[in-house]
Amino acid sequence: MADTLLLGRTLQFTGNPFLDGLGAAVVQDQGGVLIRDGLVAEVGDGAALRRAHPQAELHDHGSRLILPGFVDAHVHYPQTGIIASWGKRLIDWLNTYTFPEEMRFDDADHAARMAALYYDFSLANGITSAASFCTIHPASVDAYFEAARARGMRMIGGKVMMDRNAPEGLRDDAQSGYDESLALLETWHGVDRLGYAVTPRFAPTSTPAQLEAAGALWAEHPDCAMQTHLSEQREEIAWMRELFPDDPDYLAVYERFGLAGPGAVMGHAIHLEPREIAALVATGSGVAHCPTSNTFIGSGLCDVRGLVEAGVPVGLATDVGGGSSFSMLRTMAAAYEVGQLRGDSLHPAELMWLATQGSADCLRIGGEVGGLQPGREADLVVLDLASTPVITQRAGRAEDLWQALFPTIMLGDDRAVADVYIMGARRP
């Protein structure tokens, strides 16, 4: 396969800008990315790379910004069809919208249609990797992974385990949840670019027996991810305390059943006790920040900077369909707004890091995707920083890349996504 050379502005991270300063974000205005065999081979001065590799297939993106593809750390692809449903609190929202929609995924054809839609919407917004909850139905997992494999994408997902406090038809049991999850894990984990996630929905919808089974499954396959929800709303926390009165806090429930550790991704994690933050650090568990969902459903304001500076791995997530957008740009804008409400102004470099390397590290795929370093898989997005008249006029006053990029973060949508590459192949 011939080499491919992309020319344009490039953005890569040499460290975490939250911890290492803004110098960890390296911008090259006349940069280039050389792709060989689906991997990033070199990143540097565009003109020098062009002279060194004259036979490479050339894609000149001009002043557009080339960066790693966005990584969505927490999503519910079966909720694609109910995105932007009129607001409820979390438990009402689950009962009114989520559970009825998820009932439909026992139909393999419906699951396949919705998986295709989900990937179309995600790729249009520059999302090249994600971790998704499926439903309790094995067909929903098969559809998700089959669609990802057909597109050559690095994706993580898993069958929801849920054996109580859910409608009939959406419950498994401790044994069947374990057995079906194991069968799906053995079918899909490690195939091409796919990874399985042990997926108890959240503590209130699993009995202790099921949480124990989920913990046992993860202990048997520790290279898998584990995804669930933590401390999203105060009513949810109160409910958890009624169901697990002997545990000191929400995270302690997951710890007790072996569901905390590297590769564990806790969605939301807004209303945390000091002990829980310390335990996240001690166990190496990560957090998926879901700002559009947290504001749309009225959950609260996550302390992103506080978590990162404490040592918690944090990634950014759309949380579709409780989250109100497939756009990672809109998700970054919401993260900025949440930070402002907390008195903390997140820099564009920090937002971009959360949406790329931060999410990839949280999911333990940071060695494969999330950065432009040589050897990484060439999943890339190219952003047009003048995609609409409003953005164009604002970016025209910019004195540096960050001033040019920030209007696209705050005002951009899928029109700003000029190109997407999967393993170096340009998406049509």
Q: Which domains does the chain have, with CATH numbers?
A: 4-68+372-426 (2.30.40.10), 70-362 (3.20.20.140)
Question: Residue 327 pLDDT more than 70?
Answer: yes
The pLDDT score that the predictor gives to residue 94 is 79
Q: How many CA atoms lie within 13 A of 265 on its CB side?
A: 37
Mean pLDDT throughout 47-53? 97
389: Cβ–Cβ under 8 A, 6 or more apart, which residues? none
Mean pLDDT throughout 317-337? 96
Question: Residue 23 pLDDT more than 70?
Answer: yes
Mean pLDDT throughout 43-47? 98
The pLDDT score that the predictor gives to residue 354 is 98
Helix (H) or strand (E) holding 217: helix 208-220
Query: Considering the chain, what percentage of its residues have pLDDT values greater than 90?
Result: 93
The CA distance from 253 to 286, in Å, is 16
Question: 135 and 170 in contact (C-beta within 8 Å)?
Answer: yes
DSSP-derived 3-state class of residue 284 = coil
Question: Residue 40 pLDDT more than 90?
Answer: yes
Choose between 289 and 321: higher pLDDT: 289
**CA atoms 366, 372, 375, 379: torsion sign:** positive
Question: 288 and 268 in contact (C-beta within 8 Å)?
Answer: yes
Structure confidence by residue, pLDDT tens digits, 207-248: 999 999 999 999 999 999 999 999 999 999 999 999 999 999
Helix (H) or strand (E) holding 197: strand 194-200
Question: Residue 1 pLDDT more than 70?
Answer: no
Radius of gyration of the chain (CA): 21
Choose between 196 and 94: higher pLDDT: 196
Mean pLDDT throughout 155-170? 96
Question: Residue 137 pLDDT more than 80?
Answer: yes
Give me the chain's average pLDDT, please: 96
Listed residue (59, 74, 45, 47) closest to 3, CA to CA: 59
According to DSSP, residue 94 is labeled I
